[in-house]
Amino acid sequence: MYMIVSVRTNSLEQCSDLREALFLCLPCKFLIHIRPLVIFAGIISRLGISCKVDQLVTPEMDVVELVKANEAAHGKIACVLCDESQFFTPEQADQLFLVTVDLGIPVICYGLRADFMMRGFPGSTRLLEIAHTIEELKTICACGRKAICNGRKVNGEFVFEGAQVAIDTVDDVEYQSLCPQCWYREYRAFLARHPKK
């Protein structure tokens, strides 16, 4: 059994691979989708395909116990699929690892490696430390280069300050995948507009 972590610069909702989007949405009683509660309860791909999340996870929840309870109620689970894994706590990352080690259930985690300031999320950092396999889902910047950074826009302007987590229910927050060159261009432009005193 393996724990696979896929790192990406944009979210699963924006996956561009049709096979992946269809896999995520196939009804399967042996698959459990879990997602941290900080994010909304559904998955909608760029293609418009959607599926429900089986379990929303709060920071206080024990993922091993959640999976055991789900299996007791619904039968054997073949795979645990986790979206937005950067929002899990480091303890929950360890629990996901134990789902694989102790329960023998493969776990696949999709999540961001780093935030808009290129700082690691605690959950992602721990998942990357313990994963059996790490696969990068490649994304392209608007300029055509490989995107490895996340840019945060608030009301249409790139910003490089603020809380690590900002969901688009406050102001007009959006994220854009950027290559390092474009990220630094926008960062320097932000510093020019907002000089530190």
Compute the C-alpha angle 60/80/103, nearest 5°. 85
- Sign for the CA dihedral angle at 115, 167, 17, 4 comes to positive
Cβ count near 53 (within 10 Å): 20
Hunting for tokens 């997602």 — which residue is that?
35
Catalytic (active site) residue 84 = yes
3-state secondary structure of 143: coil
3-state secondary structure of 85: helix
Report the C-alpha gap between 197 and 194 in whole angstroms.
Answer: 9
Question: Who contacts 143 (Cβ-Cβ below 8 Å, separation ≥6)?
Answer: 179, 181, 182
Assess contact for 132 and 106: CB atoms under 8 A.
no
Q: Which of 13, 60, 71, 84 is catalytic?
A: 84
**Nearest C-alpha neighbor of 52 from the set 71, 78, 19, 26:** 26
Question: Who contacts 190 (Cβ-Cβ below 8 Å, separation ≥6)?
Answer: 157, 158, 159, 160
Q: Which residues are tagged catalytic? A: 84
